[in-house]
Structure formats: C-alpha cells, structure tokens
C-alpha cells in the first residue's frame, strides 16, 4: 500500500531561529504594531528585490488591492490580466468594476504571451497585471519596456517570485509595482500570512504606507481654524485630545480610502530570518526540480516547459505537460496516480475568465485558447517545497514511473 503524498503538507520551514526571534520580540515588550523589525524587513527586502522602496502589508491580496488604489483605477477602465491569474490577482479589479481583457499564455510555458498582449492592448488600457507563474518568466523585460513606451503601468503579481532572476536582475527591475506573498506555502513565510509592495516610485511607496493604515488619499489645502466661529479651541495637550489633521487640512477631493493592511513586528522579524534561509530554500527547490526534469526527459510524451537560459527560477511550482500518445491522456494518468498509487496532485490555476464571477461579467471559454488547451488537457503540477526531502521527491518519481509502466503493460496485454 502506498502512503498518501499530497501537497498541502509541504511549506517553508519555521524552526528554532524563528522561535528565537519571536521570543526576542516578545521580551522587548515593544508595540507589535509598529516595531523596529518592520522597517528593517522592508529595507532588506527592497535591496534583495532590486527596488528602491518596500512596504510590508498583511497579504499579497492586500498589496494587489492597494495597487489598484495607487493607480486610481475606476469603473470601466480597461485592464489587462493574463489567463492563468489567480482569483486573488483580480478580486480588487472586480471590486473596482474595471473592464478586464484576458491575455493568453505561450504554448510552451505559463508566461504571458507577448504577441497576444500586443493584439489586446489599446489606447484605453490603464494597466497590465502580469503573474510570474511558478516563479518563472523570461519575457517580462520585453513586456515592461513595451508598456513603458506606452506609459501603461505594469503590475507584477510576484506571489511565486521570491526571488527569480532574469539576466542576473531580480523582479523589482521589471514592473512599476510588485506584489509579493509570504503565505504558508510560499518561498518564505511570515507566520502563515503577509505580503510586500515594492516600487521605484516614491509617491507609490508613500501612498501605500498611508493606505495600509487607513488613511484617505486626495487633495487638501491648509485649514485655517477660526475660534470665533467654533465653540472649542485647539487642544494644547494633543496626547489628551488627538486632533489628527482636523486643525491642519481642509479636504477638497477624496480619491481613495485605506484600511488596516498592516504587518506586525513579529511577522517582520520572522521574515528577516526567512530571508537569511532563502538561498537554502531555493537550492532545495532547484534540486527537486532537476530530479523531476531528469526523469521526465526520458519520455517523449512528457514535455518540459521552455524558458531562457538567462532565467534563474524561484521554483515555486513544478509544472509539465502530457503530450498526445498511445498509452494515456492526462486525465486518466492523473486518475490512476491518485486511485492506485496515492499521489494526489493539484493544478494551478483555472482559466480566470471561466471563474463564475467573470462569467457573470460575460467572459467565456475561448478567450485564451493556449491556456485552455494546456490546463484541461496537458498540465500536471508535481509537489515541490523547501522542506520536501529528496527522498520524497524520488518517491514521487517512483510512482510516476510505475504508473507509466502500468499503462504500457495495458497496451501490450
């Protein structure tokens, strides 16, 4: 009997170093809301990412939400999203009631198709949202330059991308706004949830800090308080009566309103420790990826994704394709893996235009034919994680081989 292997048990490692830093944070008895580790985490992350500024938030979803506010997206604006985006990539766009246009992926990998982007982009396009699926992309520099020449902001959903490198440059070099995730299964984690916005634009960083803390964004002028027209005077002791900007600003327009999207100091402290372990995590993921590659290359009906040799992936996901053959199709291969060999697999992600909410908004099948063909007929994702042992990876390979052999035997018999 095969022991069950499934992905949900696999995530980034939290160990003694993280426990030690948490004890240190608690013993210092500083506020956990605005402590010293948060700013330190942001500075370290910005440098590693290749961005000038970093703003830590409660999740990648919060980062993506704030990105729509930084861009002042509004109802009816045309926004491009790639077909294999996650629901969380578009949820704030749906909330804003923008007009989503779906761009397909390439036939040989999961990155946004530059050719389809050229066909879909218009003078009305207000932003492009790109997902570095699995932590791999090798045409993002081309896409960024293309968007930059048209003065269209590029937002990178970097949930899988701590940190890929392209031409030896990390992800902060390739978009106007980058949104990262530190959720449980990501390449690093900040106690299960957390996110980061990085950018080279000071105005974006300043506004993001305000929006994560509930501030309004808009235009205001200096407020001249007139005691003669009011029944109270300005408080002398502002610790007793906290006036905020009541006596200093007169708001003329309100453009955006923030909420509570803060990361606490304990999470940030753990994030610093996790970043120190990142190279170990990435090397482990790469070793597992190489084991899978070496096995799958032996079979003509398994196809690896194709990327430039100038890309160093973050190996967040491992995906490959099942090509048409005389033994099995993708679905019955996966079904036998699960039922007979207890290898339970999960593919990411459904074509976003087929999400029921987007279908409500008149999106339909056929908007991204490459990805639809890949997702429903070819794609298989294998377990990969920084705490997954090489022994476990070899066990996955063993079950894949047994399954292939069983189909071949069926054909002979």
Residue 35 lies in a domain: yes
The answer to whether 105 touches 374, Cβ cutoff 8 Å, is yes
Measured distance CA(180)–CA(60) in Å, rounded: 5
Model confidence over 268-285: pLDDT tens digits? Answer: 999 999 999 999 999 999
The closest alpha carbon to 370, from 321, 326, 316, belongs to 321
Model confidence over 64-101: pLDDT tens digits? Answer: 999 999 999 999 999 999 999 999 999 999 999 999 99
| pLDDT score, position 308 | 92
Residue 356 lies in a domain: yes
Please write down the HEC assignment for all residues of 322-362.
ECCCCCCCHHHHHHHHHHHHCEECCCCCCCHHHCHHHHHCC
My answer on whether 244 and 264 are in the same domain is: no
Model confidence over 307-346: pLDDT tens digits? Answer: 999 999 999 999 999 999 999 999 999 999 999 999 999 9
My answer on whether 400 and 295 are in the same domain is: yes
Residue 141 lies in a domain: yes
The C-alpha R_g of the chain, in whole angstroms, comes to: 24
Model confidence over 10-63: pLDDT tens digits? Answer: 556 789 999 999 999 999 888 888 789 999 999 999 999 999 999 999 999 999
Measured distance CA(17)–CA(393) in Å, rounded: 26
Residue 36 lies in a domain: yes
| pLDDT score, position 13 | 78
My answer on whether 242 and 310 are in the same domain is: no
Measured distance CA(403)–CA(409) in Å, rounded: 10
Model confidence over 173-202: pLDDT tens digits? Answer: 999 999 999 998 899 999 999 999 999 999
DSSP 388-410: --HHHHHHHHHHHHHHHHHHHHH
My answer on whether 29 and 151 are in the same domain is: yes
My answer on whether 321 and 376 are in the same domain is: yes
**3-class SS of residue 47:** helix
CA angle 274/166/352 to nearest 5° reads 80
My answer on whether 174 and 223 are in the same domain is: no
* Residue 410 banded pLDDT, cuts 50, 70, 90: confident
My answer on whether 193 and 181 are in the same domain is: yes
Measured distance CA(156)–CA(153) in Å, rounded: 10
Model confidence over 206-232: pLDDT tens digits? Answer: 999 999 999 999 998 887 766 566 666
| pLDDT score, position 20 | 95
| pLDDT score, position 249 | 81
> Is the dihedral angle over the CA atoms 27, 32, 44, 383 positive or is it negative?
positive
Residue 7 lies in a domain: no
Residue 396 lies in a domain: yes
**Domain coverage including residue 196:** 13-214+259-269
| pLDDT score, position 224 | 74
| pLDDT score, position 49 | 97
Summarize the chain as % helix, strand, coil (round to 5).
40, 20, 40
Number of H helices, E strands in the chain: 12, 16
The tally of domains found in the chain comes to 3
- Mean of per-residue pLDDT scores for the chain: 93
| pLDDT score, position 412 | 82
My answer on whether 178 and 68 are in the same domain is: yes
* Residue 7 banded pLDDT, cuts 50, 70, 90: low
Looking at the DSSP bridge assignments, the partners of residue 224 are none
My answer on whether 142 and 265 are in the same domain is: yes
């Amino acid at each position: 009997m095969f022991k069950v292997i499934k992905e949900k048990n696999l995530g980034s490692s939290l160990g003694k170093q993280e426990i030690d830093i948490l004890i240190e944070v608690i013993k210092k008895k500083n506020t956990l809301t605005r402590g010293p580790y948060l700013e330190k985490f942001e500075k370290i992350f910005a440098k590693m990412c290749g961005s000038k500024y970093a703003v830590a938030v409660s999740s990648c979803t919060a980062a993506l939400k704030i990105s729509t506010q930084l861009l002042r997206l509004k109802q009816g604006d045309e926004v491009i999203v790639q077909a294999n985006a996650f629901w969380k990539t578009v949820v704030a766009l749906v909330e804003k009631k923008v007009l989503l246009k779906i761009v397909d992926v390439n036939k040989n990998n999961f990155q946004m198709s530059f050719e389809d982007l050229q066909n879909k982009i218009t003078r009305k396009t207000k932003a492009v949202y790109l997902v570095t699926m699995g932590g791999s992309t090798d045409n993002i520099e081309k896409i960024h330059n293309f968007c930059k020449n048209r003065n269209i902001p590029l937002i990178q959903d970097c949930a899988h991308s701590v940190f890929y490198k392209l031409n030896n440059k990390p992800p902060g070099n390739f978009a106007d706004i980058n949104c990262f995730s530190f959720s449980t299964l990501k390449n690093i984690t900040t106690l299960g949830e957390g996110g980061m916005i990085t950018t080279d634009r000071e105005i974006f960083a300043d506004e993001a800090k305000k929006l994560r803390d509930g501030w309004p964004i808009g235009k205001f002028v200096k407020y001249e308080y007139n005691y003669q027209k009011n029944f109270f005077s300005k408080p002398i002791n502002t610790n007793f009566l906290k006036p905020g900007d009541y006596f200093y600003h007169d708001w003329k327009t309100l453009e955006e309103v923030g909420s509570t999207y803060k990361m606490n100091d304990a999470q940030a402290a753990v994030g610093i420790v996790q970043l120190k372990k990142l190279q170990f995590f990435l090397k482990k993921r790469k070793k597992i990826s190489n084991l899978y590659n070496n096995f799958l290359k032996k079979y003509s009906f398994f196809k690896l994704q194709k990327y430039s040799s100038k890309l160093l992936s973050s190996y967040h996901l491992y995906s490959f394709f099942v090509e048409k053959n005389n033994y099995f199709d993708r679905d019955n291969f996966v079904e036998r893996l699960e039922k007979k060999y207890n290898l339970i697999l999960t593919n990411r992600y459904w074509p976003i235009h087929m999400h029921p909410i987007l279908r409500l908004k008149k999106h339909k099948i056929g908007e991204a034919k490459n990805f639809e063909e890949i997702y429903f007929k070819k794609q298989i994702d294998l377990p990969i994680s920084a705490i997954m042992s090489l022994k476990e990876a070899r066990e996955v390979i063993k079950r894949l081989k047994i399954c292939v052999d069983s189909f071949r035997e069926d054909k002979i018999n």
